[in-house]
Amino acid sequence: MKKFLYMAFIAISALVFSSCGSDSFTIEGELSDAGTQNLRFVYLAEGKVNSHWIPSVGGQFTMQGNSKELTVVYIYSSRMKFLTHAVIKNGETITLKGSIADNYNIEADGSDVNNEWNSFIRNNAEDFAKADRTQANSAIASFVKANPGNLVSTLLLTCDYTGTDLATLAAGIDEKAKPEQLISLYENELQSSTEKETKVTPFALRDDRDSLTIVSLKKPYNILYFWYDDKDKQRSEYIEKIKSFAKERKTEITVSDIYLNCDTAGWRTTLKNDSTNWKHYRAFAGTVDKSIERLNVKGSNFIIVADSTGKQLYRGQSAEEAISVIKNPKR
């Protein structure tokens, strides 16, 4: 039955896109543990963000999009867990194979550039899967320095790097490795890495008692921790590191735990298991919530450290780097 439904879906897709020819690209594949769910595909084309929910039937799926120039497609599970990404343009096809549980080992077969990018991620999968991305960032930095003329260097910096040396590394990349169609992505990443001038101002969210509460910055160091998947095993790693450090410096630090999902039951169960005593909030509109959007939160397990004036001291996905900023403040 599942196979019949999948084949029916393929047939319908073929009819819908038959007139497109090379005016479209295709991402297809099979994720062994996806079952039947909707997968989300997000990409930028001609200045517009395109977001599509595509059905996975028995783990198999086919997505077709349209971008005349190279674009990066981000792929998420129905629970908004990041799965993988691909660089693609019209006339190209990429085939994915792997599992949601082991997302950094998902294989991608497509263009040479995409395959090289994917190989780098899989070769460093263990480091990418860690809550602390220091080793993954180091591997990216080494690759970029050794390959300034390679488009993969730009892709790694814009899509995978979470360290603090983005601007320095980017300056070393050859112009030929920064195609015009990806410049917007490139510049957005550079801007976000230096956008610490965007102050964190008090904003209102619902707390774990369902009361509308102001998230304020009252202590010298304020950690804002954003997450959206209650099944994400990395969360416990982040929580333990932050909890241990916050306990040591409790007079200086406040932690705001901000959930970016609408699954209230999963949220409350996770909080109960965490046994944390800091403030918990939820932004059910996720990263497009007006209070969150201006902070340019990149996704789950994202941390912003701000002082009492709202000045951002750190933003990224490394708990250890966030803690280091507090331990070793710049004078």
Please indicate, yes or no, whether residues 155 and 215 belong to a single structural domain of this protein.
no
pLDDT tens digit sequence for 37-60? 999 898 888 877 788 899 999 999
Domain extent, residue 38, equals 2-195
The predicted structure's pLDDT at residue 183: 60
Please indicate, yes or no, whether residues 226 and 312 belong to a single structural domain of this protein.
yes
The predicted structure's pLDDT at residue 43: 86
Provide the CATH number for the domain around residue 257.
Answer: 3.40.30.10
Q: Which of 168, 195, 222 is the last residue of a domain?
A: 195
Please indicate, yes or no, whether residues 12 and 144 belong to a single structural domain of this protein.
yes
From the number of C-beta atoms within 10 Å of its C-beta (0-12, 13-18, 19+), residue 8 rates as: exposed
Distance CA 170, CA 73 (A): 21
Q: Which residues of the chain have pLDDT under 50?
A: 1-21, 190, 193-196
pLDDT tens digit sequence for 134-192? 899 999 999 999 999 999 999 998 888 877 788 889 889 998 898 876 666 555 554 55
Please indicate, yes or no, whether residues 177 and 206 belong to a single structural domain of this protein.
no
β-partners of residue 51 are 42
- Report CA torsion sign: 181, 187, 193, 198: negative
- The residue among 60, 6, 67, 58 whose CA lies nearest residue 28 is 60
The predicted structure's pLDDT at residue 155: 93
Q: Which of 195, 224, 243 is the last residue of a domain?
A: 195
* Those residues with Cβ within 8 angstroms of residue 293's Cβ, 6 or more apart along the chain or in another chain: 287
